[in-house]
Each structure stands twice: as structure tokens, then as C-alpha cells.
Amino acid sequence: MTKLLNRVGVDIGGTFTDVALEHAGGLATCKVLTNYTHPEQAIIDGIEIAAQKAGIAMAEITQVIHGTTLVTNSLIERRGAKLAFITTEGFRDVIEMRSENRFEQYDLNLTLPKPMVPREDRLTLNERMGPNGEVLLALDPAEVDAMVKTILAGDYEAVAIGLMHSYANDAHEVQMAKALRAAAPDMSISISSVISPQMRELPRFNTVIANAYVQPQVADYLGRLVQRLSDAGVGAPVFMLHSGGGLISVDLAAEQPVRLLESGPAGGAIFAADFARGHGLDSVLSFDMGGTTAKICLIEDGAPKTANTFEVARTYRFKKGSGMTVSTPVVEMVEIGAGGGSIASIDTLGRIQVGPRSAASEPGPACYGRGGEEPTVTDANLLLGRLDPDNFAGGAIELSVSASDAAVNSKLGVVLDMPSDQAAFGVTEMVDENMANAARVHTVENGRDIEHFTMIGFGGGAPLHACRLCEKLGIKELIIPPGAGVGSAIGFLKAPFSYEATRGLFQRLDAFDAASVNSALAELEHEAMAFVRAGAKDAQTTTKLTAFMRYAGQGWEIPVSLPYKTFVDADQAEILSAFEAAYQTLFGRVIDALSIEITNWSLVVASVLPETQIVQRHDTGALAATLRTRQFFDAALRKTVDAQEVDRAAMTAGQCVDGPAIIIENETTTIVTSGYRAIGQGDGSLRLIRKGDAS
């Protein structure tokens, strides 16, 4: 596949909109504050700045790749369409009953998320499919007509249809949708057998509801974006990054917007995975810290860890189990409220807490001078000397030290009876500890030892905190890639065209039916390949097959990678071996004499990207030129230290600087603590190695 030039990746975050433009001369990047009222305006502004840096006209851009948090924000803020949900008689309350899991066991005032659809808007049909696709109760056409009249009378903007066992037989869902489309051609209609054809009615119903809820808004936004780009002279096709880490067309994104959940963070994981492959690293902890949140993801064997379920709109924002579970392909990561704009406060026990509230871009941290009055992580970093007030974002934003001091002192220092610099240290130490705990839990849940991982840090805030995080976690090596401040946007440019097709097909392994599996996989391949070809045309593709399996009686499945081939009944032994290996890796043991079940299948078709070039790695070298000496507070030493300030451009391959040091660039700043040494690498990245551990 011929590589296109002048491709632009755009990531809208909670605070900044990041732009990365790939052109013949290299990479042009920029950050602009996110425009909440008109997010497409920040995209246009950012692309214009990047195009000017690259010396090209807007009309010369050949491809735009976009990631957005619009879907996630709409679900969290409940800003969606007036929605009706049609389901099987007797199952209207599934989404309200949830899984009956008390995610906060001892909280007597537990707040559960409200259903996306009120009970009066949850309508039922007297029909029933069996789990093997057999028709147990046929759908009466007269009842379909009556339902159409009810929907039209209710003045709904969108309809979600989720009937029992429709993943096995979609005839009734299709019949209902066809009647609605005939009566109301402009209405947004989503059916679960298309959006999430998998076992388990709760996540399947949630997913089709979420899709229908945001579909009109997303379709309108994407239409405006394409038109605004065209008006600005960009006539190039626009593609979206989906949450599983691949590219899809705007049309598919408008049809299945639920696939855009977490699309921005997925770009960051792709960015980190590319550098993991280049450095030959098999075990990597991806650390993405932006203006609002921090995301941690495991990358093994050069690929991010993925999952087929995801929680959104949590009532306890970062509490697992408190949200709405949807079943859509997603890069698996843990997210915490620890961004540069996260607000620090004092809780009822007199302790400093950080997040989950964020100052975002409006009004932003106090030091931005845009009306913010509450102390944030950025304000704390500024007071501790880790940020240069005159050279933030390349000098585009002048920071006010006095405003930060006033915010930290009034909201924290006075309450705790301590100087503002000590309060600022408390803020950064708390946020670093929160991130370290999240990383420990995430790796332990996946059966991994975090000390054996290398960290790759990116996002505007990660290079400021990554070294301290490594100290807390016992990690010996940290990599800060070039363009780290806009890492997710660059990751968009490294993503393949891909589509994940899923299907529920329950079987006992000891009764494995190869014929039915092969038939289902052929349909999945046809579905996935059609979407990939729409964007990648004649590109070479790869196919990845995953079976979701469990021991009989268990409540959840684990993903098991299998070779994609034409199966025969005798392949039971091979599938059993793959399952036991995956189970052993995750839990440390297998269970003898228990039957094994397969519940769902997943098939990913992706375009093949150029191979990542292997990087020449350096352990040491000549000392880099120092611009000046600055001071910052070194948390591990609990004191202010004199640090060398070095321009990132001076950290060429083999150039090094011993901590304490500050390495500056336009989009971010890398803090090298006293216990680490930074060495420039062949790909332009910084490799930070704990002193005494260099080979």
C-alpha cells in the first residue's frame, strides 16, 4: 500500500485538542485549547497552525483521522436523543436490575446509575427466540403495527431494539426495524443484532441503547465537521479511530457511534505500542496523562491489551462496577482522574484529594488566567518549579505563578496550616500515588509483575510525572517518545484500518461443532472485510480470531487467541490447550475435570502497516549542552534541587544528561529526577534509566 503524505491526526481531549500533521518534511504538531461549544472549530484552528508549520496549504492534506470523546461525554452528561427501547415481554427492567453487584459493599447510600431509558419509554413485544435461534413465539404483524403507532405518537428521536437471543436469530429485530423505517425514514434506529450480536442481555441491551442515544448527535457533529473542513479547503476523506484501535469510515462511525467510546485513549496505546516494537520491548506499561485524566494500559508483544466490554458513565467516576457496561471492542486500560487540570481539595478528614473534578480548558487551572480559582495539578507543578511560566506550550500560554500560589494557598495551605509549596508537594505526591496504585492493581489483575515492565510516557502531563511514578513502582526504565505531548494524535496516524466482528455462539467444547463455527466465522470475515475494504481498498490484511471461553459454572469468560483456519471436530484438543495456557497465565493454575464452554467469537480484520524500524538503543554517551540551571522540588529527596535545563532538540542519539534535569520542548516538559539518567535514542526518544542499572 502506497503511503499517503500530508495525513493529519486530531484528538479532542478534555483540556487540549492535539494535532499531528505528517508531511514530506517530517511531523508538525500543535496543541490548542478545546472549544466545548464548537469542538470542530478547535480542529480547524489546530490544522491551520500545523499546516503553516509544515509549509503546506490546507488543500494539500490527503487524509484526516479523528478521535473524539463526544460519545463518552454525551452518555455521562445525558445529552442524547429522546429514546425508546423495544424489548421482549418480561425483560424491560433488565437494564435497571443490572447485575445486582454491590460495587461499594459497605455504602448504605449506594448510588446506582440511572437507566438510560426511563421505564415508561421501555416498550415490549410478545415474542420469543430460543438460545439456538429457534422461534418459540412468533412476532405478530399486528403487534408490530401497534408498536409503530406507539413510537410515532411518542415523538421519539431514536429507537433501540434489543430482543432476547437476537444474536442467534435476528428475524424479529429486523422485522420491527423494517416497519419503523418504512413509517419514519428519518428516525435513528439501532438493533442489537447489528450493534452487539453477543450473549448476555445486559451488556447487549446497554450497548444498543447507548448507540441509539448518541446516534443523532454524533451524525450531526460528524456532518458539521466534514462540511467545516471542506469550507476550510480540506477536501480529504475523514476517518475515525474506534475504541479497539483501528480506523473506520465516517459513515460507519455515524451508524455505530458506540464504537467511538475511548477512541482518543486508544490512539495513545497504539502510539506506545509502536515504540515498544521499535525498542524490542515485550512488556510495556503505557502511561498517558493529559489535562483531565491519566490512562494506563498493558502492552505485550508489541500490541495493546484489548477487551470486549467497557464501563461508561460511572456514578463513582473511577469505581469499577459503578457504570453502564457496554459490549464493544476496546483497548483495555484503567483510567483515573489525574490530569493536569484535576482539582485538588481537602476532604472531610483533612486530607488532600485530587480529582475527579477537572478545571478542563474552561476556565482551566488558575495559572492560565482564564477565571479558574481552584488549585490544580498544573498549578502545583508550576509552584514546584517543574514548569517554566514563560515557556509553557511553546510560549503560547503565559502562566501566572502568583495566581497558582493564591489558589493553592487559599484552598489548601490556609486550611492545612502549611506553606503553599508544601501544599503543592502534597498535591503532586497524592496524584502520583493514585496513579501508582492504579498501575499496581491493573498489572496484578492481569497476573503480571510491574517491576519487569518498561514505562512509555506521553501526553502533556506524563513526562512531568513519569519519573516519579517509576520510582514508586520500582521500574528501571522509562521512554519518552518524540511528540509525546500529542502522542494520541500521532497514534492515529499509526493505526490500521480494522473492524472487529463478533457473534454469540454457545457450545460445550466436548460437543464442538466445527461446521457451525466455520459458518459463523465465514460470515464474520465477510462483515469485517467489507468495512476494512471501504477504507483500505486493496491493502494486504491480517485476521485475528479470539474465542471467549470459561469453565462450566463460572460467571465470566477469558479471551483465548486461536489460529484462524477451517476447523474440524478433532481440533478440540488444540482449543483446549490454548484455553488452559491462557487460564494458567491469568490465574496461575487450571482446573481439572470441569467442562469448558465457548460463549462468543471475535474476528478482527486489519490492514497491514509498514514494519516498525528497530531502534539503535544507547545506554550512555556525551553530555548534552545545558541551557541554564533551574530549580525544582525532587519528591524522592524531599527537597529543592539545582537542575540542568536541556533543550529536547539537543538530546540527539547518544547525548545524555544526569538527573536532576529538566528537558524542555513545546508540547511538554520531561522531569529527570536525581535517581535517573536520560539518554537520547536513535528514534528521537528519551530513554531514562535508573542510575546503576544501565547495562
What is the pLDDT averaged over residues 344-351?
Answer: 90
- Which of 280-284, 535-539, 664-668 shows the lowest mean pLDDT across its residues? 535-539
In the beta sheet, which residues pair with residue 687?
A: 479, 679
What are the residues whose beta carbons fall under 8 Å from the beta carbon of 384, sequence distance 6 or more? 421, 424, 425, 428, 632, 633
The Cα–Cα gap between 586 and 597 comes to 17
Q: Which residue has the higher pLDDT, 36 or 388?
A: 388
Using pLDDT thresholds of 50, 70 and 90, give the confidence band for residue 395. Answer: low
DSSP state of 537: T
Query: What does R_g of the chain's alpha carbons equal in angstroms?
Result: 26
The helix (H) or strand (E) run that includes residue 205 is helix 201-231
pLDDT band of residue 317 (cuts 50, 70, 90) is low
Given this model, what pLDDT does residue 210 score?
94
HSE-up of residue 174 (Cα within 13 Å, Cβ side): 9
> What's the rounded Cα separation, in Å, for the pair 570 and 517?
13
364-384 CB burial, b ≥16 within 10 A, e <16: bbbbbeeebebbbbbbbbbbb
Task: Give the pLDDT confidence of 118-140 residue by residue, as tens digits.
Answer: 999 999 999 999 998 999 999 99
Residue of 622, 671, 91 lying closest to 382 (CA atoms):
671
What is the value of pTM for the model shown? 0.85
Q: How many CB atoms lie within 10 A of CB 16?
A: 29
Q: Write the pLDDT tens digit of every residue in 565-576.
A: 999 999 999 999
Q: What is residue 397's DSSP assignment?
A: B
Confidence of residue 445 (pLDDT cuts 50, 70, 90): confident
Q: From CA 84, how far away is CA 82, in angstroms rounded?
A: 7
Q: For residues 340-349, give the mean pLDDT.
A: 89
Identify the bridge partners of residue 603 per DSSP, sorted by sequence position: 501, 545
SS3 584: helix
pLDDT given for residue 394 in this prediction? 67
| Confidence grade of residue 1 (pLDDT, cut at 50, 70, 90) | very low
Q: Which of 600, 506, 588, 527 is nearest to 562 (CA)?
A: 600
**Chain segment 472-513, per-residue pLDDT in tens:** 999 999 999 998 888 889 999 999 999 999 999 999 999 999
Task: Give the whole-angstrom CA distance, residue 419 versus residue 413.
Answer: 6
**Burial of 76 (C-beta count, 10 Å sphere; 0-12/13-18/19+):** middle
Q: How confident is the model at residue 3 (pLDDT cuts 50, 70, 90)?
A: low
Structure-block grid coordinates of residue 673: 529526577
Cα–Cα distance between 296 and 298 in angstroms, integer? Answer: 7
Over the chain, what is the mean pLDDT? 90
Cβ pair 457, 479 in contact under 8 A = yes
**Among the listed ranges 124-133, 316-325, 623-632, which one has the minimum average pLDDT value?**
316-325
For 611-631, give the DSSP string.
Answer: PPPPP---S--SBPPP-EEEE
Three-class secondary structure of residue 240 per DSSP: strand
CA dist., res. 160 & res. 170, Å (int): 14
Please report, rounded to a whole number, the percentage of residues in the chain having pLDDT higher than 90: 65
